[in-house]
Chain A
């Protein structure tokens, strides 16, 4: 699985799962399935939050178009872990989030590989004050409190398992003490209870639940030991029975063995026994069916009527949940589809280039100075992945480079959604018309928009304009910087030698590089 995300969420998933850069949608690696797991931005300014959320929606829309329809795409609902309520009636952020989640529903109707995951459901199991742990957020941008990780893994595992679950087709219902309280043959059609006060109201709710299943396309059947005539009279005369001839596809009301009756029902409806669920309050009947028809699912039945609702939810959960609407609800689906088309027409971006342009990315390349030297030194200490040589330097070391007249630059990137601050650095030693790239590193946060290439090319152009024509570069492998093993090849360097994985490069410049015009770049 490959997950698009905007915060640190790696620990929520297995090691086999791969992740995009933060907020990055420029790379779509091949994967068996994809997920979208963004969190609402943690910002104080509601206006900015709303803009960022709209940007998240744009990204989601684009990625959804790009993912092959043969691959599952799980979209986690956007949730606000940072519900700032200085003004209680300020709903702007909540409304923006609701709009994205609505858009996601439309996407899931339009794309059959898209499945919505209600992340809010997971959060609702936990107290809001437990959702985040600011210590871990501040040290690693981790938005979900680590103490929720194991619960999340369990919840997500169950979700994944439920996706492959096959929905049962048919519910086989007993009548006495299952659909109503009492025994029809003893209490009579007005003596049984399925309305009014407890316990009748519990059975009424259960019947309404069964109706909801019928409306969602489940075949409802009845298998009861009763006199058929009594039940028919009940259907005609008792106004409270909700499960009658209209809802029931077939029934066996007689004194035969229930296993035989169920076998006949399966044959009559032309469905497999393994697609049937048998609900009966009588443990002896349940045991008989379990033994004789092991393919039929037979859940335990609650002892007390008030437990019927929890029983019903479990029944739905285990056997009858469906993700897609069935053909009975086709009209509704059509409406959804029309809405989704409207969204499609409104879509502002059709490809990644346009999207990057719309971000209005500004790259400032800044010569090292007393204000940014500490940050540059810190980045050489901490950056592991996009780091070509992984030389670690102190502030004093950086100052020595500057005093020697070497080039030390850092990069600061911002776009319409915010400022990432200083997120990369390059150190180049110069000797006459030759130069040697000593260090090149960038924070993962800004990767994926090809900013790295623009950065290096702009710097090389500057060197060229100052008379440098021969440039050397080095890649030193570490356990963590595998992603940049071919970075210099991408720029256009020639590999001179390779020993123990250490690659030495050479580049002769006779003209300036063309730098992508997707960004506004300044250098000073």
Chain B
């Protein structure tokens, strides 16, 4: 799952430079618009839907992973 998330992030943020430490503060492209793109891509890839409150929280690889995980488990 980590790999799939990283691949999506690489695509959305147009950089290979994505690690589990990536977050909104250390990723230049991660602004509010790319954030929405990321959410849409994740929803499609994992066939899940996030609540607005979750979307607001998903601002790092770690939080993205834990929320995606909670959805598909």
A residues adjacent to B (C-beta < 8 A): 8, 10-11, 15, 135-136, 138-140, 142, 146-147, 149, 384, 479-480
Contacts and interface: CB of A to CB of B under 8 A. Distances in A.
Contacts of B52: 135, 138-139
Interface of B: 14, 28, 31-33, 36-37, 40, 49, 52, 55-56
Interface centre among A136, A149, A479, A480 (most CB of B within 10 A): A479
Contacts of B49: 135
Contacts of A135: 49, 52
B33 A139 contact: no
Given A135-B52, A139-B55, A146-B40, A15 B14 contact: yes
Contacts of B14: 15
Nearest to B36: A140
A135 B49 CA distance: 10
Given A135-B52, A139-B52, A479-B28, A149 B40 contact: yes
Q: Mostly helix, strand, loop or mixed at chain B's interface?
A: helix
Contacts, number: 29
29 contacts: A8-B33, A10-B33, A11-B33, A11-B36, A11-B37, A11-B40, A15-B14, A135-B49, A135-B52, A136-B36, A136-B40, A138-B52, A139-B36, A139-B52, A139-B55, A139-B56, A140-B32, A140-B33, A140-B36, A142-B36, A146-B36, A146-B37, A146-B40, A147-B40, A149-B40, A384-B31, A384-B32, A479-B28, A480-B31
B46 to A, nearest CB: 15
A135 B56 CA distance: 12
Nearest to A11: B37
Contacts of A480: 31
A480 B52 CA distance: 23
A135 B33 CA distance: 15
Contacts of B33: 8, 10-11, 140
Nearest to A479: B28
List the 8 closest pairs (A to B, CB-CB), nearest first: A146-B40, A10-B33, A479-B28, A139-B52, A140-B36, A11-B37, A480-B31, A139-B55
Given A15-B14, A138-B52, A147-B40, 14 more contacts: A10-B33, A11-B33, A11-B36, A11-B37, A135-B49, A139-B36, A139-B56, A140-B32, A146-B36, A146-B37, A384-B31, A384-B32, A479-B28, A480-B31
A180 B30 CA distance: 61
